[in-house]
Amino acid sequence: MSKKYVLKFSGLKNGIHEFEYTIDKKLFEEFDCEEVLGANLSMKVNLDKSEKQLKLDFHIQGTLQVICDRCGDEMDLNMNFNRVLYVEFGQQFEEQDVDLYVIPFNESSLDLTPFVYEYVTLEKPMRCVHGETEGNTQFCNKEVIEILEKPIEEVEKETDSRWDALKNLKF
């Protein structure tokens, strides 16, 4: 795991602190995520530090390159969303709730990597299609769509003629 998203909070005064990160495809490669081909995202994290708690406000914005579920070509997926994570201190690492994470008292930093990965992949819609996701004005691969939209009989006929060609082969 890279150390790119490790947020060191020890030594910081109580109050708000801002952090900025960039997210590229390396993050998804670390998790062997094949659904994401590339990423060009920026992430701002506002840390509100107090004695008993860290409150992290994430804002993630940019584009993700994914595979179109209709034509199979690459497409851009626009992202612009916020997440909040509360971090409290306890005896051990523990995910108490979707937005509440407990870390041991003696920890001085928090690795945001798994959180960032989860936020982005969960934000990705189940179905991504050119022109159908928000703000996407790209078009599907025309050649692929022509094949997909061909009446079934025609496709079958083509398949049949291929079989015929095979039948005519003399072994």
By CB under 5 A, tell whether 66 contacts Zn ion. Answer: no
- Helix (H) / strand (E) element for 18: namely strand 15-23
- Helix or strand (DSSP H, E) at 159: helix 152-168
Give the DSSP per-residue string, 68-129.
-TTT--EEEEEEEEEEEEEEEEESS-EEEETTEEEEETT--EEE-HHHHHHHHHHHS-S---
Residues 70-89 that bind Zn ion (CB under 5 A): 70-71
68 contributes a contact to Zn ion by CB under 5 A: yes
CB nearer to Zn ion: pick between 112 and 140: 140
Tokens 């998804």: give the residue: 28
Report the candidate in 137, 87, 128, 85 with the shortest Cα–Cα distance to residue 109.
87
Pick between residue 70 and residue 83 the one whose CB is nearest to Zn ion: 70
Q: Determine which residue in the list 56, 62, 87, 130 makes contact with Zn ion, applying CB under 5 A.
A: 130
Distance CA 126, CA 120 (A): 12
Interaction between residue 140 and Zn ion (CB under 5 A): yes
Minimum gap (Å) between residue 105 Cβ and Zn ion:
50
CB 122 to Zn ion: min, Å: 22
SS3 34: coil
Give the nearer residue to Zn ion in terms of CB position, either 90 or 135: 135
User: Least distance (Å) from Zn ion to the CB of residue 77?
Assistant: 12
Taking the least distance from each CB to Zn ion, the nearer of 83 and 130 is 130
Considering only residues 98-117, where is the footprint of Zn ion by CB under 5 A? Answer: none
Residues that bind Zn ion (CB under 5 A): 68, 70-71, 130, 140
